[in-house]
């Protein structure tokens, strides 16, 4: 039998018979502790099962629970365990897909009725029963036609569709069983853990409606979410965060606090109520206050453009399916013509290209910084809409900075300091990543090298800690992304700074340089909030609806004890409103304890209680949302302290 040479991470080599499974090699060549903890392996750069045969010389690294890829593999295997439990308890269920996610896993099913909490309890119990039986996960290579016939006979048309789409031109497909075909089988590339006994700490969380491939026109499905960890303590900690996240869910708090609502007649578009509109405008005006001193000009561009614009930008060819299209009419006929096909604006950048090109530009005009907050529309599939985090109508704190190539580093440095300032005002921690040239890119390699060097220099000049994501840039330029961490440790992708050489070229943009020759500008796409909708969702959950004073839609509630105190209450309200505060008077005939509780539930930062003494002495009894009774104070003293709190954005 021929021999193959296997190289271990420490550089040592072992020779074994060709065809030796990874698990047998590990038992012979590695310490027992590593073998007991082994989940899978890397053979060269491929992640494989422990049963994988070593048929050629290769590098080998065993994947154990402390490895960077281990948790995703573990969760994917737990998703298969979930599917096995569901198909045993609900024999008519059809399986969709079941991937690992950042927080756990999910699996989609076609079932006769929606899952209820009692179903989820039974499913989790069956999963634990299967895990305790130490059932093997086995990869099997099936003839493609055999696999199609098998899943067709089982009444699994979605699996048949997946096989046909993903294995076209192949003679064999990869399927995984748990124990055997009767217990559970799935079309899957894997890999998986060696047996169900490896799966210790998992939890079935909830179920929701879903659609096949996220398409509302597709098959309706039920999606079961779960999570899994290697240690029970990690699972417990995650569940504590999960329960806290439910309390902070922006959809619930948005309703309870009267911020926004949704209606099925306008799917994916929020109805901003009075307090929500106030919050929206507060953020929009805050951004203007930050940007105008930094040299930005606010513009407003059209909401609907002729398709020629989108053809020029490239969106008609590559993004049309995500746009809302409108058919115009000519003056001479009611029928649409090619010239009257229109697209609703999905992003601001093409319009800003037209603004730049609307007049002759000199190098003295650069950098030219254009800012816009008008609504955008994207035709997201209904199956992926989720509160404010995935919508069809939204606005961005969007800007495009047109610069000379020599200005890239300095401008990016300014942008980084701007992002640092904004996130500092909100008390938000963040991580930064630099994404570099992908395998397929437009432009010259030397141009990319220069752009990446300028971004790196700017990051270093601002003292920004960052990681590099090799090859993850957009096809038209490198970028810097910011992941914000909220109060319970979840990450939200928000700010982005992206270089673009291609769109100025597509629109033929020029400026006259100091050499009196025409040159092409570079555009920097940038947003700090991202979309207002998603940023507000994050803020609601970060603050659990208890916004700091400067952001709170209602900053103060004036609470008179009786009707005879209403005149002083109105005087207090008028003085505070005159100073720029958002104030409400609760003049209802209710006990003061009830009014205080109502203000607390609405998360109003300050309550000003007014009785006989306060009215006579022209003072206010201050209650803080977090600190309780603060005692009586002169109105002007309270106003000064509140103004300082707003200005410092504490």
DSSP state of 611: -
The Cα–Cα gap between 532 and 109 comes to 34
The Cα–Cα gap between 235 and 124 comes to 14
The answer for residues whose C-beta is within 8 angstroms of residue 542's C-beta and 6 or more apart is 248, 426, 428, 486, 487
The Cα–Cα gap between 106 and 255 comes to 27
User: Residue 614: left (phi > 0), alpha (psi -120 to 50), or beta?
Assistant: alpha
H helices of 426-558, in order, are: 445-461, 502-506, 532-543
The Cα–Cα gap between 187 and 361 comes to 58
The residues annotated as belonging to the active site are: 349, 378, 396, 398, 400, 479, 525
Q: Exposure of 458 by Cβ count < 10 A (0-12 exposed, 13-18 middle, 19+ buried)?
A: buried
Nearest alpha carbon to residue 311 among 355, 352, 342, 335: 342
Contact 199, 81 (CB under 8 A): yes
Contact 343, 378 (CB under 8 A): no
Sign, Cα dihedral of 55, 61, 63, 68? negative
The Cα–Cα gap between 88 and 611 comes to 67
Which residues is 241 bridged to in the sheet? none
Exposure string of 158-183, with b = 16+ CB inside 10 Å and e = fewer, is bbbebbeeebeeeeebbbbbbbeeee
């Amino acid at each position: 039998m021929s021999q193959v040479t296997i190289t271990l991470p420490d550089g040592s080599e072992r020779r074994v018979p060709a065809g030796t499974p990874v698990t047998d090699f590990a038992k012979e060549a590695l310490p027992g502790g590593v073998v007991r903890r082994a989940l899978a392996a890397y053979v060269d750069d491929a992640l494989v099962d422990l049963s994988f045969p070593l048929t050629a010389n290769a590098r080998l690294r065993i994947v154990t629970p402390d490895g960077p890829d281990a948790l995703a593999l573990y969760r994917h295997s737990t998703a298969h365990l979930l599917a096995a439990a569901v198909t045993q308890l609900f024999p008519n269920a059809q399986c969709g897909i079941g991937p690992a996610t950042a927080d756990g896993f999910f699996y989609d099913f076609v079932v006769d009725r929606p899952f209820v909490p009692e179903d989820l309890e039974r499913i989790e119990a069956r999963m634990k029963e299967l895990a305790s039986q130490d059932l093997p996960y086995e990869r099997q290579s099936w003839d493609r036609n055999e696999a199609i016939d098998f899943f067709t006979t089982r009444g699994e048309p979605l699996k048949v569709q997946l096989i046909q789409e993903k294995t076209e031109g192949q003679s064999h497909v990869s399927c995984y069983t748990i124990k055997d075909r009767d217990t559970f089988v799935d079309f899957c590339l894997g890999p998986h853990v060696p047996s169900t006994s490896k799966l210790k700490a998992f939890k079935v969380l909830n179920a929701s409606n879903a659609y096949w491939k996220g398409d509302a026109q597709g098959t309706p499905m039920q999606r079961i979410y779960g999570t899994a960890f290697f240690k029970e303590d990690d699972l417990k900690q995650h569940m504590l965060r999960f329960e806290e996240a439910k309390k902070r869910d922006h959809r619930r708090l948005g309703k309870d606090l009267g911020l926004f609502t949704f209606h099925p007649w306008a799917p994916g578009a929020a109805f901003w109520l009075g307090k929500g509109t106030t919050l929206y405008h507060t953020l929009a005006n805050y951004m203007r206050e930050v940007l105008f001193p930094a040299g930005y000009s606010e513009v407003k561009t059209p909401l609907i453009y002729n398709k020629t614009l989108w053809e020029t930008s490239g969106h008609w060819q590559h993004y049309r399916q995500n746009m809302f299209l409108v058919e115009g009419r000519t003056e001479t006929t009611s029928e649409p013509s090619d010239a009257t096909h229109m697209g609703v604006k999905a992003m601001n950048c093409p319009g800003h290209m037209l603004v730049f090109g609307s007049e002759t530009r000199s190098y003295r005009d650069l950098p030219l910084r254009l800012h816009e907050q008008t609504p955008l529309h994207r035709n997201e599939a209904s199956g992926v809409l989720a509160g404010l985090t995935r919508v069809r109508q939204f606005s961005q704190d969007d800007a495009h900075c047109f610069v000379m190539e020599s200005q890239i580093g300095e401008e990016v440095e300014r942008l980084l300091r701007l992002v640092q300032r904004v996130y500092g005002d909100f008390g938000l921690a963040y991580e930064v990543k630099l994404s570099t040239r992908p395998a397929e890119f437009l432009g010259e390699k030397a141009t990319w090298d220069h752009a990446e060097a300028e971004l790196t220099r700017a990051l270093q000049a601002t003292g920004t800690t960052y990681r590099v994501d090799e090859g993850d840039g957009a096809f038209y330029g490198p970028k810097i992304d910011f992941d914000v961490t909220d109060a319970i440790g979840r990450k939200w992708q928000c700010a982005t700074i992206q270089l673009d050489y291609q769109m100025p070229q597509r629109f033929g943009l020029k400026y006259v340089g100091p050499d009196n020759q025409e040159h092409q500008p570079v555009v920097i796409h940038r947003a700090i909030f991202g979309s207002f909708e998603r940023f507000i969702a994050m803020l609601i959950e970060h603050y659990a609806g208890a916004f700091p004073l400067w952001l709170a839609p209602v900053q103060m509630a004036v609470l008179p004890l009786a009707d005879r105190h209403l005149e002083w209450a109105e005087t207090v309200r008028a003085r505070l409103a005159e100073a720029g505060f958002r104030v409400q008077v609760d003049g209802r005939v209710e006990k003061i304890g009830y009014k205080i509780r109502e203000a607390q539930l609405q998360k109003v930062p300050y309550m000003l209680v007014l009785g006989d003494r306060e009215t006579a002495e022209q003072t206010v009894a201050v209650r803080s949302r977090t600190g309780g009774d603060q005692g009586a104070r002169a109105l002007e003293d309270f106003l000064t302290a509140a103004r300082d709190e707003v200005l410092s954005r504490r």
